[in-house]
Amino acid sequence: MLESCAAAVADIPSGASLAVGGFGLNGIPHNLIHALLEQGATDLVTVSNNCGVDGWGLGVLLDHKRIARTTGSYVGENREFERQFLNGELEVELVPQGTLAERLRAGGCGIPAFYTPAGVGTLVAEGKEVRRFGERDYLLERGIICDFALVRASIGDRQGNLVFHKATRNFNPLCAMAGRVTIAEVEELVEPGGIPPEDVHLPGIFVQRVVHVGSEGKRIERVTTRKAEGA
């Protein structure tokens, strides 16, 4: 248990690889990301479903050119990402979303590689081993292990057991598994035993550092409303 996000990310060096949870702006560890921005690490290698948006999430690190390479599934809605990529300032690896999820899970489970049919016959397959099983071809994909993982949980205890509220469960448990050192910012902190065992989404064995941040500062990526009946 650490007192601040700044303390939690203080030893992340320049050039470190980071698995970062979240999906769009849902469940992203934005407090840890901002602390890392202020800490000053550069040439970071990130693995995340997407790379935030302009001015939020991993987008703040992009805005300050702190990310040298990123692996993800979706890169839309970020003009600075597009600009850096097209100008050769950012190295990008695009991965099918299910493959990315499995690569993170495999890394966390100690599985070095696996075969998947996703991407066969496309640019995704370039430079990768293709092997036939039965009537289908499969690509060899490698598990992902990162130096650090940054995740956000709805509830956590001091031993690192975590609960994710609804859609915030997305990539957070997978990224947490893939980090050699996993740092979790939690909205609600409880004492050990405060989370029923059957409600734990990620056991504390995967988490090394916990920071209590509260629930303020969330953003909604896109608000869609409809008129009330009779309006």
Q: Report percent pLDDT > 90 for the chain.
A: 88
Which pLDDT tens digit goes with each residue over 173-226?
Answer: 999 999 999 999 999 999 999 999 999 999 999 999 999 999 876 667 677 788
Residues 6 or more apart in contact with residue 64 via CB below 8 angstroms: 37
Going by pLDDT thresholds of 50, 70 and 90, the confidence category of residue 75 is: confident
Q: Report percent pLDDT > 70 for the chain.
A: 97
- CATH classification (class only), 5-112+142-212: alpha beta
Going by pLDDT thresholds of 50, 70 and 90, the confidence category of residue 2 is: very high
Which pLDDT tens digit goes with each residue over 218-231?
Answer: 667 677 788 877 76
Which pLDDT tens digit goes with each residue over 119-162?
Answer: 999 999 999 999 999 999 999 999 999 999 999 999 999 999 99
Predicted local confidence at residue 14, as pLDDT: 98
* Gap between the Cα atoms of 84 and 227, Å rounded: 40
Domain boundary assignment for the chain: 5-112+142-212
Predicted local confidence at residue 230, as pLDDT: 72
* Gap between the Cα atoms of 128 and 121, Å rounded: 11
- For strands 146-157 and 162-163, give the pairing: antiparallel
Q: What angle do CA 180, 67, 8 make, to 5 degrees?
A: 45
Instruction: Spell 101-129 as b/e; 16+ CB within 10 A means b.
Output: bbbbbbbbeeeeebebebbeeeebeeeee
Mean pLDDT of the chain: 95
Predicted local confidence at residue 112, as pLDDT: 98
Predicted local confidence at residue 228, as pLDDT: 78
Predicted local confidence at residue 165, as pLDDT: 96
